[in-house]
Chain A
């Protein structure tokens, strides 16, 4: 039942996406879009996550989501400049290695998003993950250790928090 709800949401999302990408609105395009998006949903049915995974859309969570994106972009810019400095310096002061950090998030969708955010930030790369821990490869090991209790992790924990809803 939950999966059906998720499938319908997914269908609506890619149907809108289709209209944004095709420049005009006409019957032909709507019919083709309907067929294509229902086929995509049909063939990927076993990949669709439960609707319980999705954080409830309230004004609070939307604001938190944008705060999260903002923090992520700031982090990306900062560490990109750091990595560029390391690459271009003569000696390349790197100290690469794997570090395990604790998994604090509960929902699987948020865990995947957090792993993706770590990978998107330069200098850190998620290699493996389960419900208890995340294995992260760092260009400089110290940077990975700072991830625990960082503002990025806090933003994700805020997104998951339920008691205010």
Chain B
């Protein structure tokens, strides 16, 4: 069981690490969009790793199914919220921005 515990602790620690990176990115990045990258993104990975650790700790049960549902919910709503903020910022300064084509 000790091996499983160590794996769980590693998952929780790396999840916390990604949250930490998100906060550092929020403080260091220069403008709205780049800050969005740092925060919303490290949230997905941090929350994902922490929930994965919790599922392992709980084992195969009804509660871990619930945690999985919460994870899916976070992963569906997080980009939606990020998109809403980004689109508002984009619409407000659309004229002054440069857009490149992919080719």
Contact = CB atoms under 8 A, between A and B. Distances in A.
Q: How large is the interface on B (under 10, 10 to 19, 20 to 34, 35 or more residues)?
A: 35 or more
B80 interface: yes
A152 interface: no
Contacts of B45: 76-77, 80, 122
B59 interface: no
A97 B97 CA distance: 9
B76 to A, nearest CB: 7
Contact of A102 (B79, B89, B102): B102
Contacts of B42: 80, 83-84, 122
Nearest to B26: A87
A79 to B, nearest CB: 8
Q: What is the interface of chain B mostly: helix, strand, loop, or mixed?
A: helix
Interface residues of A, number: 41
B101 to A, nearest CB: 5
A119 B82 contact: yes
Interface of A: 17, 20-21, 23, 76-77, 79-80, 83-84, 87-88, 92, 94, 96-102, 115-117, 119-123, 125-128, 135, 137, 139, 141, 144-145, 147-148
Interface of B: 18, 21, 24-25, 28-29, 31, 33-34, 36-38, 40-42, 44-45, 48, 62, 65-66, 69, 75-76, 78-80, 82-83, 86-87, 89-90, 97-102
